[in-house]
Amino acid sequence: MPVIKKTIKRSLLVTSATLLSLSLTAAPVLAADEPSPSPTPSTTPPADMSTVGGARLGLPGTQADLGSGAPVLPKDVTARSWIVTDAESGAVLAAHNAHWRLPPASTLKMLFADTLLPKFPRTERHKVAVTDLADIGEGSSLVGIKEDETYTVHDLWLGVFLRSGNDAVHVLSAMNGGVAQTVKDMQAHADDLQALDTHVVSPDGYDQKGQVSSAYDLTLFARSGLQKKDFREYCSTVRAKFPGETKKDKKGKTSRESFEIQNTNRLLTGDSDISTYQGIAGVKNGNTTNAGATFTGVAERNGKVLLVTVMNPEKHEHNEVYKEAAQLLDWGFKAADKVTPVGELVPPRSADTSTQAGSTPSGGPSSGTGGGSTAPVAASAGAKDGSSGVGIALAVAGGLLVLLAGSAFLVNRRWPLPDLMRRRR
């Protein structure tokens, strides 16, 4: 009898262990379409990534072709995906899993802004309804919009860019016909930009089932957005005043004061453990549970303008995404003329490049990557804010800008940008 009991007990233990093993193995499959509860939804890039912009950009791992005298890439960059591009030529200087489809966080707001900015004049006023603020994700970043208060479109965009306010995004989406319509518009614009890694589910970048983008696509969004004057101004604004709540005193007199908001881009504002990056001119940062930290930035030094995107550093230290972005920008400025591009930023599908064949800016080399397209430019110079002693980027002397004019994709047209960045006290 004791032998039978031991046998039954052993069988039950084996069965339990087998079921536990099967449940652990099956869990990732059953939850494959659900948002991951951790900031690292996957540890390895897929083998079949997109090749938009060049075959090497679809390969896993780091892609770089260093020439003579080129500095080595920084060794302590831990981001799951990153890309460094020349904003003027569109050349990809180096990349790491550039087309890995990952949660984008609030960097997706670049696509939101690029899609909706042309639709509303900045002076238009909108009174916020209760329904405008419905369905904002729990724990969202907010600028502090109140129902029944009136805001200008200019106010709302400051809330989007500086505070990454999901409340401002939802109000602008309501003005655009609602969240569903805005998501549809954003997806259509992403498709036109050939940002084919991107699937839009929410306009604010909040973690949602199936919402993904890539370092390559986020760079395309920044590139397109920087062609717009308002986009350049908002993404480079360090601080601004935002309308507060209307209050009524005992005598029935109403008043409405403003409060200061500051940009959450730490390369633009600096922080306790990181300095303002010399030449930084935007663009957008983000951070969610699924996405980890994400960042796309544009900077100028000595006439060279670079775009960098960094997604989900494995090292979870304070401001790590900015530190890694700064390292990659430093490398890019030193290596720009000493590397062979490993790909290119493609033009929008709606752009007509037929008239640009063989065209090269005066005194400038061809990108050598085909397509005849280049990225728009935002450039700045580093300086000190006299009121706080914190270094901030100031007005731009000029730069090269690619414009979408009608259906023509104009290449390397000289375009001064004196109002790109202003001192914000």
DSSP 149-210: -EEEHHHHHHHHHHH--HHHHHHHHHHTT-HHHHHHHHHHHHHHTT-TT-B-S-TT----TT
Residue 79 tokens read as 């981001």
Closest Cα to residue 78, out of 328, 274, 344? 328
Determine the residue type at 224: S
In the structure, what pLDDT confidence band is assigned to residue 34 with cuts at 50, 70 and 90?
A: very low
Give me the pLDDT at residue 351, please.
83
Give me the pLDDT at residue 422, please.
31
In the structure, what pLDDT confidence band is assigned to residue 42 with cuts at 50, 70 and 90?
A: low
What mean pLDDT do residues 395-415 have? 31
What mean pLDDT do residues 52-81 have? 97
* Mean pLDDT over the full length of the chain: 80
* pLDDT above 60 (res 4): no
CA distance 359 to 25: 56
What mean pLDDT do residues 253-267 have? 96
CA distance 266 to 279: 13
What mean pLDDT do residues 180-205 have? 98
Closest Cα to residue 52, out of 196, 211, 199? 196
Give me the pLDDT at residue 353, please.
56
* CA 299 from centre of chain: 14
CA distance 303 to 72: 22
What mean pLDDT do residues 13-23 have? 40
Determine the residue type at 236: S
CA distance 422 to 380: 10
Residue 97 in contact with residue 61, Cβ under 8 Å?
A: yes
In the structure, what pLDDT confidence band is assigned to residue 370 with cuts at 50, 70 and 90?
A: very low
Give me the pLDDT at residue 322, please.
98
* CA 33 from centre of chain: 23
Give me the pLDDT at residue 41, please.
54
Closest Cα to residue 113, out of 180, 190, 52, 211? 190
| pLDDT tens figures, 75-109 | 999 999 999 999 988 999 999 999 999 999 999 99
Residue 333 tokens read as 């400025």
What mean pLDDT do residues 132-144 have? 95
Closest Cα to residue 412, out of 351, 349, 367, 348? 367
Residue 39 in contact with residue 292, Cβ under 8 Å?
A: yes
Give me the pLDDT at residue 101, please.
98
What mean pLDDT do residues 310-339 have? 96
Side-chain-facing half-sphere of 205: CA atoms under 13 Å: 35
Give me the pLDDT at residue 219, please.
98
Give me the pLDDT at residue 226, please.
93
* pLDDT above 50 (res 383): no
Give me the pLDDT at residue 43, please.
79
What mean pLDDT do residues 183-200 have? 98
In the structure, what pLDDT confidence band is assigned to residue 26 with cuts at 50, 70 and 90?
A: very low
CA distance 197 to 202: 15
> Please, which residues bridge with residue 240 across strands?
261
- By percentage, how much of the chain surpasses pLDDT 90? 69
CA distance 4 to 333: 75
Q: Against a cut of 0.95, is the pTM above it?
A: no
* CA 214 from centre of chain: 9
Give me the pLDDT at residue 395, please.
34
Side-chain-facing half-sphere of 339: CA atoms under 13 Å: 25
